[in-house]
Amino acid sequence: MMDKRLIWQLREPAGTQTLRWQRWQRRRQTVERRLREAAQRLARGLGLWEGALYEIGGLFGTGIQSYFTFLRFLLLLNLLSLLPTASFVLLPLAWLSPPDPGPALNLTLQCPGSSQSQTGVLKFHNQVWHVLTGRALTNTYLFYGAYQVGPESSSAYSIRLAYLLSPLACLLLCFCGTLQRMVKGLPQKTLLGQDYKVPLSSKVFSSWDFCIRVQEAATIKKHEIRNEFKVELEEGRHFQLMQQQTRTQRVCHLLSYLRVNVLIGLLVVGAISAIFWATKYSQDNKEESLFLLLQYLPPGVIALVNFLGPLLFTFLVQLENYPPNTEVNLTLIWCVVLKLASLGMFFFSLGQTILCIGRDKTSCESYGYNACDYQCWENSVGEELYKLSIFNFLLTVAFAFLVTLPRRLLVDRFSGRFWAWLDREEFLVPKNVLDIVAAQTVTWMGLFYCPLLPLLSSVFLFLTFYIKKYTLLKNSRASSRPFRASSSTFFFQLVLLLGLLLAVVPLGYVVSSVHSSLDCGLFTNYSAPWQVVPELVALGLPPLGQRALHYLGSHAFSFPLLIMLSLVLTVCISQTQANARAIHRLRKQLMWQVQEKWHLVEDLSRLLPEPGPRDSVESPASRASRPRSFCPGFPCPGSPGPRDLRPGSSVVDALGLRSPCAGPRGTPASTHRVLFPSGPEL
């Protein structure tokens, strides 16, 4: 209480009167600070998978931990994407009474043939198969066809507009979240420069956490420090090898690089061609008796291509002996090309069959889509994307418990040269990242056709985390080439952003240009879903608002907007360049301070008397008279200044971990001292 009174007197000295408003403001700030601290503690305590991520990062390094962190980010992104649809479509739709079913579709188009009844196939169709194919859920809110509403004039709230804008809002939220996460660590790396590295000595002496008291946490921390040192030494070794290469070796390395990448490009072209023909054959023969197997032919071919592709890419890239980060990123880039190209080709082949893109078909002339075979074509596309999501998750479960687990049991049970060569499955981060990115891209593609697909994807991601964790801890081994998570996280977010852009292109084309189906859905009377926007503008807005919207969509508004964006971009670039110049000046100032301290040490070493034969043993009095700030952080007097890296020295020698303090006459001292970092190291 006495301390509190003292603090109160310091805040409000005697003779001063504090206003009641100021006291209330101070009390409010104190309460807000305490509430904010309590919320932060609660958020850290309730953080999803915090303990599991700490364990994985400590045992296997930050590179593998970044995969699980990325998986958690996708789970939160899907839950966030579900909010607009649930809030603006499902809840209002629950309050409105469903409209009376309209008359059945009466096509006046002469179709080339009637659809044959699949009497021989129906006996194979059970309820489980209907769930796997999506036919059992066609009349639910999972698919587009179940959303029905009356005309726009019958209600003040437009379900059609909410249904149209909800996918766009989801994609915008995902874009902002991915972009913010992608550029989070980019400015620091850009401003500091590519050659900036933290000295290894600082990691040696400051890596341990002295607050650890539990033996399990101490073991995990030891593994984490060891993995960090592995990455540092591996990168230093590759850097020295690259510096020692001759011009001929570099040319040979470039030719080998081109040869490997051309070979990988040919493999990608062959893979997407196989996906195109598999999808075309499955859709053209959907009335055959083998339709049960043909329904999952495109997902099966996509899964086979995406399983064999990363393995071949990893094998071919490892032949080049790249640094760990470069190897992972290059493999990831080619896996991105394969994954996104396969999904793009799959979607294009569906559009060619259903929407007759690039095909001259009679049934598409009046309706803009294949009205004979796909009366509710939105549901057909939604079923294909639903099957692709289900197949990806089932494939993850099958590989975890039918391939990886038996392989681990056989390797642990038997001994021999073959089993030693087989070993446990290696946990490949690029392959696993691309699997969940492809699944997320499929989810984004299906936002218009399957509005509740993010909920299904969230369940799959939640289960995938525990399946992958079990596979990593029990059945797999870490990669033999460690890499740093900071350089790969940017590529993970870039891949996700590319998948988002791939999903936006077909969605924008369908919403703006494709005729809606006449048999189901909210937009049965519209030539395109976007036509509901001009209709609502004409019905609900006054003439002044209509003119304002017309001006915002005209070319007259685009020029001021372009000028404003140019000014904002100029300001941002100028601020970035100013920050870079400030950092450069601060680094030069730090170098000057180091050089000034070197000069002071040299002057002090010249002023001190040289030890004679009788002064070989230093007395306690002379030791006490020596200045206390003489040697900490600096080499002993008479030693040379900062030295550049010699061709034969190692990275650790350059940082001063093995360089002893030299005496005044060149004799080594009794203790080793750490050299202060020189200018280039700062």
- The pLDDT tens digits for 382-399 are 888 898 899 889 989 999
Is position 394 within any domain? yes
Q: Which residues contact 350 (CB under 8 A, 6 or more apart)?
A: 279, 283, 381, 384
Longest dimension (CA), the chain: 118
Neighbours of 359 (CB within 10 A): 11
Amino acid at 107: L
Amino acid at 184: K
Most confident of 60-74, 332-346, 565-579: 565-579
Is position 523 within any domain? yes
User: Higher pLDDT residue, 528 or 245?
Assistant: 528
pLDDT of residue 18: 60
pLDDT of residue 197: 60
Banded model confidence at residue 324, pLDDT cuts 50, 70, 90: low
Q: Which of 14-28, 113-127, 538-552 comes out lowest in average pLDDT? A: 113-127
pLDDT of residue 458: 93
Q: Is the model's pLDDT at 527 over the cut of 90?
A: no
pLDDT of residue 481: 58
Q: Is the model's pLDDT at 21 over the cut of 70?
A: yes
Q: Which of 79-88, 171-180, 233-242 comes out lowest in average pLDDT? A: 233-242
Q: How far apart are CA 463 and CA 527, in angstroms?
A: 41
Q: Is the model's pLDDT at 185 over the cut of 90?
A: no
Is position 290 within any domain? no
Helix (H) or strand (E) holding 476: strand 476-477
Is position 630 within any domain? no
Q: Is the model's pLDDT at 457 over the cut of 90?
A: yes
Burial 248-282 (b: 16+ CB within 10 A, else e): eeeeeeeeeeeebbeebeebbeebbebbbebbeeb
Q: Is the model's pLDDT at 190 over the cut of 60?
A: no
Averaged over 518-538, what is the pLDDT?
Answer: 83
pLDDT of residue 358: 65
Averaged over 639-651, what is the pLDDT?
Answer: 44
Banded model confidence at residue 654, pLDDT cuts 50, 70, 90: very low
pLDDT tens, position by position, 104-122 = 444 555 555 544 434 344 4
Q: What percentage of the chain exceeds 70 in pLDDT?
A: 72
Please choose, from the candidates 446, 491, 448, the residue with its C-alpha nearest in 3D space to the C-alpha of residue 333: 491
Q: Which of 188-192, 588-592, 664-668 comes out lowest in average pLDDT? A: 664-668
Averaged over 420-442, what is the pLDDT?
Answer: 84
Q: How far apart are CA 293 and CA 286, in angstroms?
A: 10
Place of tokens 């985390």: 465
Q: Is the model's pLDDT at 640 over the cut of 50?
A: no
Token pair in block for residue 476: 């797999």
Banded model confidence at residue 155, pLDDT cuts 50, 70, 90: low
Domain limits at 397?
50-99+148-247+363-540
Token pair in block for residue 263: 């070979």
pLDDT of residue 397: 92
**Contact criterion met (CB below 8 Å) for 636 and 611:** no
**Contact criterion met (CB below 8 Å) for 161 and 534:** no
Averaged over 396-416, what is the pLDDT?
Answer: 89
pLDDT of residue 363: 56
pLDDT of residue 353: 80
Per-residue DSSP letter, 138: T
Q: Kindly report the length of the chain.
A: 682
Is position 414 within any domain? yes
Count of the separate structural domains present in the chain? 1
Is position 44 within any domain? no
| DSSP tally for the chain: helices H, then strands E | 26, 4
pLDDT of residue 12: 64
Averaged over 614-636, what is the pLDDT?
Answer: 46
Banded model confidence at residue 255, pLDDT cuts 50, 70, 90: confident
Q: Is the model's pLDDT at 681 over the cut of 60?
A: no
Q: Is the model's pLDDT at 78 over the cut of 80?
A: yes
Banded model confidence at residue 298, pLDDT cuts 50, 70, 90: confident
pLDDT of residue 460: 94
Banded model confidence at residue 223, pLDDT cuts 50, 70, 90: confident
pLDDT of residue 485: 57
Neighbours of 117 (CB within 10 A): 9
pLDDT of residue 455: 92
Q: How far apart are CA 339 and CA 434, in angstroms?
A: 7
Q: Which of 375-379, 544-548, 619-623, 673-677 comes out lowest in average pLDDT? A: 673-677
pLDDT of residue 673: 41
Q: What is the mean pLDDT of the chain?
A: 75
Please choose, from the candidates 382, 401, 379, the residue with its C-alpha nearest in 3D space to the C-alpha of residue 390: 382
pLDDT of residue 437: 87
Burial label for 582, CB within 10 Å (0-12, 13-18, 19+), is exposed
Burial label for 324, CB within 10 Å (0-12, 13-18, 19+), is buried
Q: Is the model's pLDDT at 419 over the cut of 80?
A: yes
Q: Which residues contact 235 (CB under 8 A, 6 or more apart)?
A: 323, 324, 325, 484
Averaged over 438-443, what is the pLDDT?
Answer: 90
Token pair in block for residue 36: 């904010």
Q: Which of 9-23, 184-198, 200-214 comes out lowest in average pLDDT? A: 184-198
Banded model confidence at residue 345, pLDDT cuts 50, 70, 90: confident
343: left (phi over 0), alpha (psi -120 to 50) or beta: alpha
**Contact criterion met (CB below 8 Å) for 364 and 377:** no
Is position 386 within any domain? yes
Q: Are strands 425-426 and 668-672 parallel, antiparallel or unpaired?
A: unpaired
Helix (H, G, I), strand (E, B) or coil at 669: strand
Q: Which of 100-114, 440-454, 660-674 comes out lowest in average pLDDT? A: 660-674
Q: Is the model's pLDDT at 564 over the cut of 80?
A: yes
Banded model confidence at residue 281, pLDDT cuts 50, 70, 90: confident
pLDDT of residue 612: 58
Token pair in block for residue 531: 């036509």
Per-residue DSSP letter, 676: P
Is position 454 within any domain? yes
pLDDT of residue 635: 44
Q: Which of 11-15, 206-210, 492-496 comes out lowest in average pLDDT? A: 11-15
Helix (H) or strand (E) holding 671: strand 668-672
Q: What are the phi and psi torsion angles at 522 (to 5°)?
A: -85, -20
